[in-house]
């Protein structure tokens, strides 16, 4: 057995703080309204340069970021379990993760319920049995049995992350006895896309467990840094395969057809996993180059707002797009849309800063609930 879990070096802590900001920024790209990859038909007519840029940011870095954030959470949870009992960790994370998830999803549902009085929305189910409709609405807020498609979909990530936290003492105990065997089992579950009521996204559980394992076995978290050019190249190659595999020609590839005959999706089982692995390694290793530079201070200053940006970005961007931006840029195939797409994470971050600072001044208790207790972080830091 390698070295036991110890304190995380300050350089790694700085990098983790930076990775959180970068990953949430990349994840926001995935949910920019009408991007070329939010639906298959949107890719038609999009300029090639814009289409490829969106592909790299959405299908590459954006989707890899969820895996890296889960892995980082596993690393920090492993350390936290050595400092306090699980019950204390559960209480803190319930306040900082679950309560904001419920509040933001409820706010989103209320907003769309009001809109439903004027026009059909995702809440307009049509001819659906009452019990099925009730379960849909409950899952839209609490994600008890599934993740319904809609504007709260991204918040299901928090639900699964909290389940991983609840499982963390058990996962650590199993890892001590079986080591990498548990990771192999979780990898198979992920590749086969075996979702369950207990864990909605197998990827999150796998990545979180890898983070626990890295700390449990005392792995060097800087070992991959020197290979950063390789991770960048492989990430771009894998992302290109993701993009191509979603086209009609890609669906007709012999490997894709073989996986389809076995009841599997070639894209989900092979190409996406490669893209997520290499994308996560690229982000992690490149973040090391930002530590100690001017970017450290810039990203640190906005770090108290990134959680709210994650929770609110879909609602903010959809309302800006439908209310203002679409009329200005004229659609998703224009140069104006490409500019809006690139600026979207910055707009979402700015909106989060406004939300946090305004609420912290006029309704501190509400700000604490919406931010999971993070509302005072920026002010306390500035005072220090």
Residue 34, both tokens: 């009408």
Q: Using CA atoms, how far apart are residues 14 and 287, in angstroms rounded to an integer?
A: 9
What is the average pLDDT value for the chain, to the nearest integer?
Answer: 90
Phi-psi region at 78: left, alpha or beta (left = phi > 0; alpha = psi -120 to 50): alpha
pLDDT at 215 > cutoff 50? yes
The 10s digit of each residue's pLDDT in 44-86 is 567 777 888 899 999 999 999 999 999 999 999 999 999 989 9
Instruction: Find how far residue 74's CA is from the centre of its chain.
Output: 14
Residue 333, both tokens: 């195939």
pLDDT on residue 38 = 64
Stretch among 30-39, 55-64, 139-148, 195-204 having the lowest mean pLDDT? 30-39
pLDDT at 6 > cutoff 80? no
Phi-psi region at 330: left, alpha or beta (left = phi > 0; alpha = psi -120 to 50): left
HSE toward the beta carbon, residue 27, CA cutoff 13 A = 27
The 10s digit of each residue's pLDDT in 306-326 is 999 999 999 999 999 999 999
pLDDT on residue 8 = 73
Q: Using CA atoms, how far apart are residues 345 and 45, in angstroms rounded to an integer?
A: 24
Residue 55, both tokens: 């592909």
Residue 161, both tokens: 């992350």
Mean pLDDT of 31-45: 69
pLDDT on residue 163 = 97
Q: Using CA atoms, how far apart are residues 336 and 325, in angstroms rounded to an integer?
A: 9
The percentage of the chain sitting over the pLDDT mark of 90, rounded to a whole number, equals 70
Residues 6+ apart with CB under 8 A from 307: 24, 100, 371, 372, 374
Q: Using CA atoms, how far apart are residues 91 and 84, in angstroms rounded to an integer?
A: 11
10 Å CB burial of residue 205 (0-12, 13-18, 19+) is buried
pLDDT at 188 > cutoff 90? yes
pLDDT on residue 381 = 45
């Amino acid at each position: 057995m390698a070295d036991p879990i110890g304190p995380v070096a300050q350089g790694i802590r700085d990098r983790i703080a930076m990775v959180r900001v970068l990953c949430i920024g990349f994840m926001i790209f995935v949910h920019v309204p009408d991007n070329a990859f939010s639906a298959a038909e949107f890719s038609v007519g999009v300029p090639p340069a814009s289409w490829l840029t969106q592909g790299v940011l959405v299908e590459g870095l954006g989707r890899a970021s969820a895996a890296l954030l889960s892995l980082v959470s596993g690393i920090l949870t492993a350390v936290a379990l050595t400092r306090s009992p699980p019950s204390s960790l559960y209480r803190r994370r319930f306040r900082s993760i679950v309560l904001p998830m419920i509040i933001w999803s409820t706010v989103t549902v209320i907003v769309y319920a009001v809109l439903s009085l004027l026009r059909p929305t995702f809440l307009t189910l049509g001819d659906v049995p009452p019990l099925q409709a009730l379960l849909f609405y409950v899952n839209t807020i609490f994600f008890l049995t599934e993740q319904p498609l809609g504007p709260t979909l991204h918040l299901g990530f928090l639900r699964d992350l909290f389940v991983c936290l609840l499982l963390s003492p058990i996962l650590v105990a199993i890892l001590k006895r079986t080591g990498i065997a548990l990771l192999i089992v979780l990898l198979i579950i992920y590749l086969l896309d075996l979702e369950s009521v207990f864990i909605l996204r197998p990827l999150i559980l796998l990545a979180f467990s890898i983070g626990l394992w890295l700390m449990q076995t005392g792995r060097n978290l800087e070992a991959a840094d020197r290979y950063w050019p390789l991770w960048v190249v492989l990430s771009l190659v894998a992302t290109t395969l993701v993009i191509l595999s979603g086209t009609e020609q890609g669906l007709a590839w012999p490997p894709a057809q073989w996986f389809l005959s076995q009841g599997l999706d070639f894209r989900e089982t092979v190409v996406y996993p490669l893209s997520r692995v290499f994308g996560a390694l690229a982000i992690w290793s490149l973040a090391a180059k930002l530590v100690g530079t001017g970017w450290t201070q810039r990203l640190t200053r906005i770090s108290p707002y990134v959680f709210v940006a994650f929770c609110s970005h879909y609602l903010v961007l959809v309302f800006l797009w439908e209310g203002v931006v679409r009329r200005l840029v004229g659609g998703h195939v224009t140069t104006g849309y490409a500019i809006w797409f690139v600026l979207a994470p910055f707009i979402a971050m700015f909106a989060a800063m406004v939300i946090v600072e305004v609420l912290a001044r006029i309704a501190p208790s509400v700000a604490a609930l919406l931010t999971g207790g993070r509302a005072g972080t920026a002010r306390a830091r500035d005072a220090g």
